[in-house]
Amino acid sequence: MDGVLAEFEGAVLREFRARFPAEPRLELAERRGSAVREQYRSLREELAAKVASVYESPGFFLDLDPIPGALEAVQEMLHMKDTEVFICTSPLRKYEHCIVEKSHFIVEPVQGSPKEAKRRKEVKGVATGDFKPSWEAEAILCRVEKHLGPEFVERIILTRDKTVVAADLLFDDKDTIQGAEPNPSWEHILFTCCHDRHVQLPAWRRRLRSWADDWKAILESKRRQ
Ligand SMILES: [Mg+2]
């Protein structure tokens, strides 16, 4: 989700700059590797905790903008014949707000009326406040169901290990995805993001440079295999 559907890196930089203006920071063009915390650590040890405090703040995930074209592409994919779309996302370890807020990200773009804006406020209040994740997460998922339909709730996969999920394609900005399964069923399409654009891929691996790039051709090529 982050780096493919939601603009994580830009938000981290913006918030880091606001909270720690005197500290050195990494502009997006300087980012390397999916672990933002580790690259900040390489600047200075204590910057790792500072940058982590930015994205571990309650409410951080609520303010992420969608990546241009992402929601339209996912909606289009959803309605394509013989195509099933799931959102496979890894919650941050030790961070209970993240799961609820990631669910909220899916709700937000489809809401419009004043009544829905009021509901959205209520959701934000719930997600940023003191809560018990079990029932709160359930409440958010009910809202996803209301706005996107019951099938969409079943299309969210929260896992720390994406290798055990079965699929034909996985669009992900993390250049190397490892886990318990050494031979995942999916082909990993590297989604270009500031931190991975310099990664040299072997000839057999494919990229999607943005959602304006030809993702349909990738789906079609997979169907022919
Ligand atoms: Mg990601």
Q: Which domains does the chain have, with CATH numbers?
A: 8-57 (1.10.40.40), 58-225 (3.40.50.1000)
- pLDDT of 57 reads 81
Predicted local confidence at residue 60, as pLDDT: 77
Q: Which residues are catalytic?
A: 2
Predicted confidence at residue 110, as pLDDT, reads 38
Q: What is the pLDDT of residue 200?
A: 96
Per-residue confidence (pLDDT) for residue 164, from 0 to 100: 96
Residue owning tokens 């990229």: 207
Cα 14 to middle of ligand 1, angstroms: 18
pLDDT at 87: 82
* Mean pLDDT in consecutive groups of 10 residues from the start of the chain, 225 residues: 88 97 98 96 97 85 81 87 87 59 52 48 41 40 52 76 96 96 97 97 97 97 90
Protein residues within 5 Å, CB atom, of ion ligand 1: 2-3, 173
**Residue pair 125/117 in contact by the 8 Å Cβ criterion:** no
Question: Positive or negative CA dihedral for 74, 78, 84, 88?
Answer: positive
Distance 172 CA to ligand 1 centre (A): 6
CA of 5 relative to ligand 1 center, distance in Å:
8
Note the pLDDT of residue 145. Answer: 59
Residue 158: what pLDDT? Answer: 77
Q: What is the pLDDT of residue 156?
A: 78
Give pLDDT, residue 64.
79
Structure confidence at residue 159 (pLDDT): 82
SS3 content of the chain, % helix, strand, coil (to 5): 50, 10, 45
